[in-house]
């Protein structure tokens, strides 16, 4: 086994290097113009660092898509520290989704949990056993007695006793209060694997294997021992199958025992150890040794994990195979049903745990964080947490009840979402909806907190928030602009516009409101309730988007023909027409410090300086129309939404990451005030949250 592991590690290193070399070549080819144009600004060394960073991020993202969490972690650690930004934190949070982790004293081989879900028992390769507390995972007791690796551990139903089986061919029991251990049973065969208590705690079943016969007829057979849990007296010893047995589980009614075999079989025995029937793996050219079994609490469903990268579920009443879950990256080391039997948790040598709705075959969550094979786990049904041990030398705690994967996607009942804006404290988002409503949703899980009808019988085209989130501006095809108090949904102002507004914007202090209507901008002084006039001079077609600079000095807008225009608010004069019609700028955004203005159209992003409005750079990221853009609060990143989200560095516009948190084209983007989250919405009503920090660690 050791040689296989080492060889596999070398292959992984080879694949890792090859993937990186290919990615570096692609990045160099696609980024050579970027490097050439920026080298004089950045310096040769800085330019090389930037390309290396881009390649590291690209390889890490591809590794995560392939569920190679260990490789992703490796390349994230290679990325130059001084260049690490939102995309690095985002990928890091995906690669480690555990609640907490602790370094173990030795290499763990197994883990078990008591029925009260207060203690964990961890067996080690050196033969020791530890009791650890839940949820702290701190050591309570260290138990010594075995002289070789502990292969399996199981708590008695009352939680007062633990049974273990070791490579030293002994089965031992331990008192959880005193820590005292005793030899329960000495096996007469060297091939030991797993052990478990009967549901009433009176018996212990252990699966093993031994060599039988002589000469050429010498072969292997499996053996199941059932002994008295107090005296160790052998109740029965049964030969089972013709290959080593590797896993065992007892049904809750105590009537059946299931054992998994290396020849791809699961044997069903009665409580006396007599074989009743066999569940066979489907024919396969891959090694289908069964290394984990679990029975649902009602005894109806049987799950097994195999070396062919698949977890399977059988109906124990009919004997039919009802599900095959094959999206694993290696051996399936352990399987366990949740309390209701609706979900199955699996662990794998690829370092990931997975949660399945096994009846539909849908993978609900992939829990990433371990840097080695997940050898075993214990599921706490009451707290919806699980604890896992790995060859990386750690124990980790996970939450299974909440969807905390990155990104989180919520499908609202709205027929479309046009705008998303975070509150100033980042706890919720306000949404402008096609059905005329304004809604606020929790940033943690997307649940609806408030909703009110802003524009009856018409769509709420957009909304804009004041910096303190107390004021909210909306507009619609109904020809009105409305100012709301977000604290009580009170309508403060209803402005009758000279024409229906496609877009609107509220200044940061809520003093001014701008409305894009036709080819003109209509500006209102909200303090004095008067119109400041119509801003004209735009040479393009119908205006699609309007924005204030952070200090309200500048007003910028884009038109349907691709041009953008900037006005000075005080003089009401056109400062500059930006771009050419061929550039098709359809969206724009100011950064929070008022240093940059970004415009975007079909596949092209352009960055402009303020107040000169000179072109600083331009990059093509594809051919699809760009619907929305958002600067990160620190101004170092620009998120661009089209058929996916592309993250660019600022001011160099270097593409860093491309990802899709929604199931449709991105229509609007918004960063949270602390920059940790990026919200995205679609006209189909999908709301996505992409997080650069694991919510659970917060």
pLDDT digits 0-9 by tens, 535-577: 876 666 678 899 999 999 999 998 766 678 898 988 877 778 8
Q: Whose structure tokens read 């999206």?
A: 327
| Helices H / strands E in the chain, number of each | 4, 56
Confidence of residue 400 (pLDDT cuts 50, 70, 90): confident
Q: Is the pLDDT of residue 17 over 70?
A: no
Query: What pLDDT does 34 receive?
Result: 45
Q: Supply the pLDDT for residue 535.
A: 82
Q: Rounded to an integer, what distance in angstroms lies between the CA atom of residue 623 and that of residue 654?
A: 17
Q: Is the pLDDT of residue 108 over 90?
A: yes
- pLDDT of 450 higher than 80: yes
Q: What is the rounded distance in angstroms from the CA atom of residue 526 to the CA atom of residue 494?
A: 11
Residue 136 has pLDDT above 80, yes or no: yes
Query: Region 591-612: what's the mean pLDDT?
Result: 93
Residue 531's pLDDT band (boundaries 50, 70, 90)?
confident
Question: What pTM value is reported for the model?
Answer: 0.79
- For 492-525, the pLDDT digits (tens) are 999 988 788 889 999 999 999 999 887 788 899 9
Q: Average pLDDT in the 138-155 region?
A: 96
Lowest mean pLDDT: which of 146-150, 176-180, 216-220, 287-291?
216-220
Q: What is the pLDDT of residue 44?
A: 61
Q: What percent of the chain has pLDDT over 90?
A: 67
Above 50 in pLDDT, residue 405? no
Asked if pLDDT for residue 248 goes beyond 70, the answer is yes
**In the predicted structure, residue 426 carries a pLDDT above the cut 80:** yes
Say if residue 25's pLDDT is above 90.
no
Does the structure show a pLDDT above 70 at 398? yes
Would you say how long the chain is, in residues? 698
Q: Mind listing the pLDDT tens digit for each residue in 199-241?
A: 999 999 999 998 888 888 888 899 999 999 999 999 999 999 9
The full set of domain ranges for the chain reads 2-84, 307-402, 427-657
Please state, in angstroms and rounded to a whole number, the distance separating the CA atoms of residues 112 and 202: 19
Could you read off the pLDDT of 622-669 as tens digits, one per residue? 989 899 999 999 999 999 999 999 999 999 999 999 999 888 899 999
- Long-range CB pairs of 169-175 (<8 Å, 24+ gap) are 170/146, 171/195, 171/204, 171/206, 171/225, 171/227, 171/232, 172/145, 172/146, 173/204, 173/229, 174/129, 174/143, 174/145
Task: State the average pLDDT over residues 2-20.
Answer: 40
Residue 488 CA neighbour count, 13 Å, CB half: 3
pLDDT score of 94 more than 90: no
CA distance 419 to 433: 7
Local confidence band at 11 (pLDDT 50, 70, 90 cut-offs): very low
Residues 427-657: name the CATH superfamily: YVTN repeat-like/Quinoprotein amine dehydrogenase (2.130.10.10)
Calculate what percentage of the chain has a pLDDT beyond 70. 89
Q: What pLDDT does residue 240 have?
A: 94
Calculate mean pLDDT across residues 451-465: 95
Q: What distance in Å separates the CA atoms of residue 255 and residue 274, rounded to the nearest whole number?
A: 11
> Between helices 44-65 and 86-95, what is the axis angle to 10°?
30
Q: What is the pLDDT of residues 572-589, one digit of tens each?
A: 777 788 876 555 668 999
Q: How confident is the model at residue 691 (pLDDT cuts 50, 70, 90)?
A: confident
3 pLDDT above the threshold of 70: no
* pLDDT reported for residue 583: 56
- Among 296-310, 414-428, 595-609, 681-695, the minimum mean pLDDT is found in 681-695
Per-residue confidence (pLDDT) for residue 464, from 0 to 100: 96
Q: How far is CA 391 from CA 2, 39, 111, 158, 598, in A?
A: 12, 44, 13, 30, 48
């Amino acid at each position: 086994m050791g040689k296989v592991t080492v060889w596999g590690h070398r292959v992984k290193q080879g694949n890792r290097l090859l993937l990186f070399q290919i990615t570096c070549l692609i990045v160099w080819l696609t980024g050579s113009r970027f490097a050439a144009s920026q080298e004089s600004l950045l310096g040769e060394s800085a330019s090389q660092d930037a390309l290396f960073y881009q390649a590291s991020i690209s390889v890490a993202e591809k590794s995560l898509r392939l569920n190679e969490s260990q490789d992703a972690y490796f390349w994230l650690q290679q990325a130059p520290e001084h260049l690490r930004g939102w995309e690095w934190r985002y990928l890091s949070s995906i690669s480690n989704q555990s609640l907490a982790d602790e370094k173990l004293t030795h290499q763990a081989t197994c883990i078990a949990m008591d029925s009260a879900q207060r203690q964990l028992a961890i067996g080690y390769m050196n033969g020791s056993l530890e009791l650890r507390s839940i949820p702290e995972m701190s050591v309570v007791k260290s138990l010594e007695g075995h002289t070789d690796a502990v292969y399996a551990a199981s708590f008695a139903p009352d939680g007062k006793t633990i049974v273990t089986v070791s490579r030293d061919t002994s089965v031992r029991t331990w008192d959880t209060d005193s820590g005292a251990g005793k030899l329960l049973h000495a096996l007469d065969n060297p091939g030991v694997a797993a052990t478990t208590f009967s549901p009433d705690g009176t018996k212990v079943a252990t699966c093993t294997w031994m060599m039988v016969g002589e000469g050429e007829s010498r072969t292997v057979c499996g053996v199941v021992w059932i002994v008295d849990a107090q005296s160790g007296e052998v109740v029965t010893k049964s030969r089972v199958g013709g290959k080593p047995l590797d896993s065992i589980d007892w049904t809750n009614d105590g009537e059946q025992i299931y054992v998994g075999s290396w020849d791809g079989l699961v044997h069903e025995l009665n409580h006396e150890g007599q074989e009743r029937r066999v569940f066979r793996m489907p024919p396969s050219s891959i090694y289908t040794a069964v290394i984990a079994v679990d029975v649902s609490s009602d005894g109806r469903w049987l799950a097994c994990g195999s070396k062919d990268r698949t977890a399977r579920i059988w109906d124990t009443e009919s004997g039919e195979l009802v599900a095959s879950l094959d999206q694993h990256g290696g051996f399936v080391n352990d399987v366990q049903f949740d309390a209701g039997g609706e979900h199955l948790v699996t662990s794998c040598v690829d370092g990931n745990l997975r949660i399945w709705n096994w009846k539909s075959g849908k993978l609900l969550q992939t829990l990433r964080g371990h840097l080695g094979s997940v050898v075993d786990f214990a599921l706490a049904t009451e707290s919806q947490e699980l604890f896992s041990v790995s060859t990386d030398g750690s124990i980790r705690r996970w939450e299974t009840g909440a969807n905390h994967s990155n990104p989180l996607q919520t499908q609202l009942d709205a027929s479309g979402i046009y705008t998303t804006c975070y509150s100033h404290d980042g706890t919720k988002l306000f949404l402008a909806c096609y059905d005329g409503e304004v809604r606020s949703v929790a940033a943690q899980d997307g649940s609806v907190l408030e909703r009110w009808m802003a524009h009856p019988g018409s769509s709420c085209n957009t909304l804009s928030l004041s910096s303190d989130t107390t004021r909210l501006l909306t507009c619609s095809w109904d020809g009105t602009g409305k100012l709301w108090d977000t604290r009580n949904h009170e309508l403060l102002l209803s402005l009758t516009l000279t024409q229906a507004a496609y877009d609107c914007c509220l200044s940061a202090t809520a003093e001014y409101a701008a409305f894009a209507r036709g080819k003109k901008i209509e500006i209102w002084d909200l303090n004095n309730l008067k119109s400041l006039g119509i801003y004209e001079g735009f040479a393009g077609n119908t205006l699609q988007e309007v924005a204030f600079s952070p200090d309200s000095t500048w007003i910028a807008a884009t038109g349907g023909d691709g041009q953008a225009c900037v006005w000075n608010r005080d003089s009401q004069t056109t400062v500059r027409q930006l771009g050419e019609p061929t550039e098709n700028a359809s969206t724009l955004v100011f950064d929070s410090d008022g240093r940059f203005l970004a415009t975007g159209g079909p596949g092209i992003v352009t960055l402009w300086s303020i107040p000169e409005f000179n072109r600083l750079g331009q990059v093509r990221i594809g051919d699809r129309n760009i619907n929305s853009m958002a600067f990160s609060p620190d101004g170092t990143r620009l998120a661009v939404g089209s058929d996916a989200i592309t993250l660019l560095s600022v001011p160099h516009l270097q593409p860093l990451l491309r990802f899709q948190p929604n199931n449709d084209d991105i229509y609007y983007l918004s960063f949270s005030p602390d920059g940790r989250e990026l919200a995205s919405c679609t006209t189909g009503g999908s709301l996505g949250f992409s997080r650069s920090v694991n919510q659970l660690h917060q």
